[in-house]
Amino acid sequence: MNLKGYFSEFKAWSRTQADIDRISTIWNNCLSASSGPFLFGERSMADAKYAPVVTRFRAYDVALDRQCTA
């Protein structure tokens, strides 16, 4: 896992975009239900399990909607 990598020119494939959208929906549903700031309100293992996904989203400059990034 390269925490310093940044690949802003990377273009997500259509199947990859579907996964990104699915994850974004899951996060938005959790944040709406819990009022945040973490997926289930307080810090939990769910947040820790998604840490590598967040790292990749940041490295590849994946655009997420506002609620996911708040």
- pLDDT, tens digit (0-9, with 9 covering 90-100), for 4-60: 889 988 888 889 999 999 999 999 999 999 999 999 999 999 999 999 999 999 999
pLDDT band of residue 67 (cuts 50, 70, 90) is: low
pLDDT for residue 8: 86
pLDDT band of residue 70 (cuts 50, 70, 90) is: low
Q: Per the structure block, which two tokens stand in for 20?
A: 């990104």
DSSP letters spanning the chain: --TT---TT----HHHHHHHHHHHHHHHHHHHHH-SSBTBBB--HHHHHTHHHHHHHHHTT----HHHH-
pLDDT band of residue 69 (cuts 50, 70, 90) is: low
pTM of the model: 0.82
Q: Cβ contacts of residue 11 below 8 Å, gap of 6+?
A: none
